[in-house]
C-alpha cells in the first residue's frame, strides 16, 4: 500500500521560512521593529492627510508629531533591515555547512550519479538563491504590516470605500496568480537547465588544456556545447522574467486605474468628503509601494523556491546527528564478502554494470593484489569492500559479524585508501597533532618529497606537484591514518621504475610486517610475487585466484 506519509512535501515559499527556526529571537526583534516602522508610516500618512486638509493652519502637535514619527520610522526600519542582513549572512553560513554535511552523508552512488558540477551548483548557486529569498521573507512581513496599518486607517476613514479597495486588491491578486504559477514553472526549468550549464563550465575549467590545444574542438565547445547550455538557461530565464515583469507592471497600472476610479468616478455616485478622498488617494499611493516591491521580489523568492526544489529533487541525505564513530564498535578480523552483488548504475539502463556475485575472504595481515582488464570491476569491488557502495545482495562481514547499514560508518574506519584519482588535502585534516607531524616528516623523507614539501601549521607547504609526487603525498596521508587495512588503486601506475620497485618490494612488505592488511589493485605483473594472493577479475567477477610464486631474484624485502 502506498504510504502517504512517505511522500515528501514539495518545497514552496513556506519551506523557505524553516531556516528561521534556529534564530527565532533575532527574527522576532526584526519583525517587531519592522511592524513599528509599518505603524509609523501609517501614522505619517494620517498626519500628511491632516496637514493637507489644514492648509496653512497647521497645529504644532501635527508638525512635531510628524518629525518624531520620521525619527521612529528611520530607527525602526533601519534596525529591522540591519538585523535582517545579519540574519541572512548567518543563514548562508549555516546553509552552506548544512548542505556540505548533507552531500557528504549522501551515499557515494547518489553523489556520483549527480556529478561534481551539480553538487558545486548546489553549494554556490542554490545556497545564494535560497538566502536571497529568505532575506526577503521577513521584509515581506514588514511591508505586510504597513499594508495592514494603511488598511486600518482607510477603514477608519470610510468602511465602504475600504471594502471597495479590498475587493479591487483581491481581484488583482487573483488575476495575477496563473501568470505567477507559469513564471515559477519557467524558473524551475531554468534551474534545471543551469545544471547542464555548470557541467559545461566544469569542462571548460578541467579541459582547459585540451580546448586550448585544438581550435576546432574549442570552437565546437564554445559554439555548440557551452552556447547551447547557456542559451537554454537564457531562454527559460527570459520567459520567467517576462511573466514577472508583466505581472508587476500590470499591478502598478491597475493601482493608477484605481486612483482614477476613486477620483473621477466615486464622487459622481457617492457623497464623499474631499479629505476622505485625499486620504484614500494617499493611502493607495502608500499601498502601491509595498505591493510594487512584492512584485519586484517575486522573481527572487521564485528563484529561492526553484533552488529548494532542485535540492529536494537531488535526494540528498537528511542532516543526521553526528554520532561518534569508532571502528572498535565492530570486532577486528577477516573481511568476508558472501554472495555480494552490486549494480553500478549509468545514465541509461544499458550502461549499468553488474558486479558479482563475489565470495571472498581477506585475512588480517594479508597482501592481496587485484588485477584484470580495464572495466573488469576492480575499482567497483574496492568501493564495495570499503563500504562506500552498499551491496544490493549478499553481505559483508568483519570478524565474523555482518556489517549492517548502521555499522557501515564504523566499518569504514578500518580502512585507509589511496584512490586512482586521489585528492590530496592541503591541511592534514584531523592529523595535525605533534606525533602525526613527526611521522609526516619521516614519511616525506622516505617518499623523497622532503625537498619539495614541508609540514607547517598542520598543512603541507604545497600540493602543487607532479602527478606521481601527489600520489606519494596521498600515500603519506593514508599511512598517517594508521588504519588496519590499506587499499591502493593503481598507486604505482604513475611512479618511476625505482619508486615502483621500492613500493612493491619494500614498502608493502614493511606495512605487512607492521600488521597491516593490503589490498592493491595493480597491473604490474612483474611484482605479483610480492602478494600473498592475486585475484584476477573479469566482467565484474573473480575469474581466478592465484598464489604467486616467490621471485627469488627480486631481492630482499627488508
Ligand X SMILES: Nc1ncnc2c1ncn2[C@@H]1O[C@H](COP(=O)(O)OP(=O)(O)OP(=O)(O)O)[C@@H](O)[C@H]1O
Question: For binding to ligand X (CB under 6 A), which residues are involved?
Answer: 112, 344, 346, 353, 372, 374-380
- Per DSSP, helices labelled H in 271-429 are 274-314, 378-385, 408-412
Q: Which H helix or E strand runs over 436?
A: helix 434-446
**Phi, psi at residue 341, to the nearest 5°?**
-125, 150
* Shortest Å distance, C-beta 519 to ligand X: 13
Reduced to 3 states, what is the DSSP secondary structure of residue 55?
coil
445-448 long-range contacts (CB < 8 A, ≥24 apart) are 447/472, 447/473, 447/475, 447/476, 448/472, 448/499
Spatial distance between the Cα atoms of 365 and 31, rounded to a whole number of angstroms:
64
Q: Cα–Cα distance between 143 and 138 in angstroms, integer?
A: 9
Q: In the complex, what is the shortest distance from the CB of residue 382 to ligand X, in angstroms, rounded to a whole number?
A: 8
Q: Which is nearer to ligand X, 374 or 547 (CB)?
A: 374
CB of 523 to ligand X, least distance (A): 7
Cβ 527 to ligand X shortest distance, Å: 16
Distance from C-alpha of 33 to C-alpha of 142, rounded to nearest angstrom: 8
Which position has the grid cell 552512488? 109
Q: How far apart are CA 78 and CA 99, in angstroms?
A: 31
Exposed/middle/buried for residue 452 (C-beta within 10 Å: 0-12, 13-18, 19+): middle
Written as one string, the DSSP assignment of 65-79 is: HHHHHHHHHHHHHHH
Q: CB 525 → ligand X: shortest distance, Å? A: 13
Question: Whole-number minimum distance, CB 393 to ligand X, in Å?
Answer: 17
* Of 77 and 380, CB closest to ligand X: 380
Q: How far is the CB of 217 from ligand X (least distance, A)?
A: 23
CB of 418 to ligand X, least distance (A): 14
For the record, the C-alpha cell of 186 comes out as 519557467
Of 179 and 388, which has the nearer Cβ to ligand X? 388
CB nearer to ligand X: pick between 319 and 346: 346
The closest alpha carbon to 383, from 348, 423, 340, 425, belongs to 340
Q: How far is the CB of 377 from ligand X (least distance, A)?
A: 5
CB 486 within 8 A of CB 416: yes
Q: Nearest distance from residue 541's CB to ligand X, in Å?
A: 11
Q: Using the minimum distance from each CB to ligand X, give the nearer residue, 218 or 523.
A: 523
C-alpha–C-alpha distance, residues 396 and 267, integer Å: 85
* Closer CB to ligand X, 46 or 490, in the complex: 490
The residue assigned the cell 573473480 is: 542
Task: Please tell me the distance from the alpha carbon of residue 50 to that of residue 59, in angstroms, as a whole number.
Answer: 10
Q: How far is the CB of 339 from ligand X (least distance, A)?
A: 19
Rounded distance between C-alpha atoms, residue 319 and residue 339, angstroms: 32
Residue whose C-alpha is closest to residue 121's, from 307, 347, 312: 307
Please give the full DSSP string across 483-495, using - where no structure is assigned: -SEEEEESGGGGS
Between 280 and 389, CB nearer to ligand X? 389
β-strand partners of 401:
398
Pair 363, 334: CB distance under 8 Å:
yes
Question: What is the C-alpha separation between 465 and 472, in angstroms, rounded?
Answer: 10
Q: Residue 197: in which H helix or E strand, if any?
A: helix 159-206
CB of 110 to ligand X, least distance (A): 12
Taking the least distance from each CB to ligand X, the nearer of 94 and 533 is 533
Contacting residues for 241 by C-beta, under 8 A, at least 6 apart: 299
Amino acid at each position: 500500500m502506498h504510504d502517504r506519509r512517505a511522500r515528501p512535501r514539495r518545497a514552496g515559499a513556506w519551506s523557505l521560512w524553516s531556516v528561521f527556526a534556529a534564530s527565532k529571537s533575532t527574527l522576532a526583534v526584526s519583525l517587531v521593529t519592522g511592524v513599528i516602522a509599518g505603524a509609523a508610516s501609517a501614522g505619517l500618512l494620517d498626519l500628511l492627510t491632516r496637514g493637507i486638509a489644514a492648509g496653512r493652519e497647521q497645529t504644532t502637535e501635527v508638525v512635531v508629531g510628524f518629525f518624531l514619527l520620521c525619527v521612529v520610522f528611520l530607527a525602526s526600519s533601519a534596525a529591522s533591515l540591519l538585523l535582517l542582513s545579519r540574519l541572512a549572512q548567518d543563514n548562508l553560513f549555516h546553509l552552506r555547512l548544512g548542505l556540505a554535511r548533507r552531500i557528504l552523508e549522501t551515499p557515494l552512488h547518489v553523489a556520483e550519479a549527480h556529478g561534481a558540477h551539480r553538487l558545486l551548483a548546489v553549494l554556490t548557486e542554490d545556497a545564494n538563491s535560497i538566502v536571497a529569498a529568505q532575506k526577503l521573507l521577513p521584509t515581506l512581513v514588514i511591508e505586510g504590516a504597513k499594508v495592514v496599518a494603511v488598511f486600518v486607517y482607510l477603514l477608519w476613514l470610510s468602511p465602504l470605500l475600504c471594502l471597495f479597495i479590498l475587493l479591487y486588491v483581491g481581484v488583482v491578486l487573483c488575476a495575477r496568480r496563473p501568470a505567477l504559477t507559469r513564471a515559477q514553472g519557467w524558473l524551475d526549468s531554468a534551474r534545471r537547465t543551469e545544471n547542464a550549464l555548470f557541467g559545461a563550465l566544469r569542462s571548460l575549467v578541467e579541459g582547459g588544456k585540451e580546448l586550448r590545444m585544438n581550435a576546432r574542438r574549442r570552437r565546437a565547445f564554445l559554439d555548440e556545447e557551452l552556447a547551447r547550455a547557456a542559451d537554454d538557461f537564457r531562454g527559460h530565464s527570459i520567459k520567467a522574467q517576462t511573466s514577472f515583469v508583466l505581472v508587476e507592471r500590470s499591478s502598478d497600472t491597475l493601482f493608477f486605474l484605481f486612483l482614477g476610479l476613486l477620483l473621477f468616478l466615486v464622487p459622481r455616485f457617492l457623497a464623499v468628503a474631499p479629505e476622505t478622498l485625499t486620504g484614500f488617494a494617499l493611502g493607495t499611493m502608500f499601498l502601491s509601494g509595498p505591493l510594487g516591491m512584492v512584485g519586484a521580489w517575486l522573481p527572487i523568492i521564485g528563484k529561492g523556491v526553484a533552488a529548494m526544489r532542485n535540492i529536494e529533487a537531488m535526494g540528498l541525505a537528511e542532516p543526521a546527528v553526528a554520532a561518534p564513530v569508532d571502528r572498535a564498535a565492530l570486532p577486528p578480523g577477516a573481511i568476508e564478502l558472501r554472495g555480494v552483488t552490486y549494480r553500478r548504475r549509468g545514465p541509461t539502463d544499458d550502461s549499468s554494470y553488474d558486479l558479482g556475485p563475489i565470495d571472498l575472504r581477506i585475512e588480517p595481515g594479508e597482501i592481496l593484489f587485484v588485477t584484470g582488464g580495464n572495466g573488469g570491476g576492480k575499482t567497483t569491488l574496492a568501493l564495495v569492500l570499503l563500504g562506500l557502495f552498499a551491496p544490493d545482495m549478499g553481505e559483508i562481514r568483519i570478524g565474523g559479524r555482518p556489517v549492517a547499514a548502521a555499522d557501515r560508518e564504523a566499518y569504514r574506519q578500518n580502512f585507509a585508501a589511496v584512490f586512482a584519482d586521489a585528492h590530496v588535502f592541503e591541511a592534514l585534516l584531523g592529523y595535525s597533532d605533534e606525533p602525526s607531524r613527526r611521522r609526516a616528516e619521516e614519511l616525506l623523507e622516505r617518499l623523497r618529497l622532503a625537498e619539495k614539501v614541508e609540514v607547517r601549521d598542520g598543512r603541507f607547504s604545497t600540493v602543487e606537484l607532479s602527478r606521481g609526487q601527489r600520489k606519494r603525498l596521498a600515500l603519506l596521508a593514508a599511512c598517517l591514518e594508521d588504519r588496519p587495512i590499506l587499499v591502493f588503486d593503481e598507486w604505482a601506475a604513475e611512479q618511476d621504475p625505482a619508486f615502483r620497485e621500492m613500493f612493491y618490494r619494500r614498502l608493502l612488505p614493511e606495512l605487512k610486517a607492521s600488521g597491516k592488511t593490503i589490498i592493491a589493485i595493480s597491473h604490474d605483473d612483474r611484482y605479483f610475487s610480492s602478494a600473498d594472493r592475486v585475484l584476477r577479475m573479469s566482467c565484474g567477477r573473480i575469474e581466478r585466484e592465484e598464489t604467486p610464486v616467490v621471485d627469488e631474484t627480486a631481492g630482499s624485502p627488508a
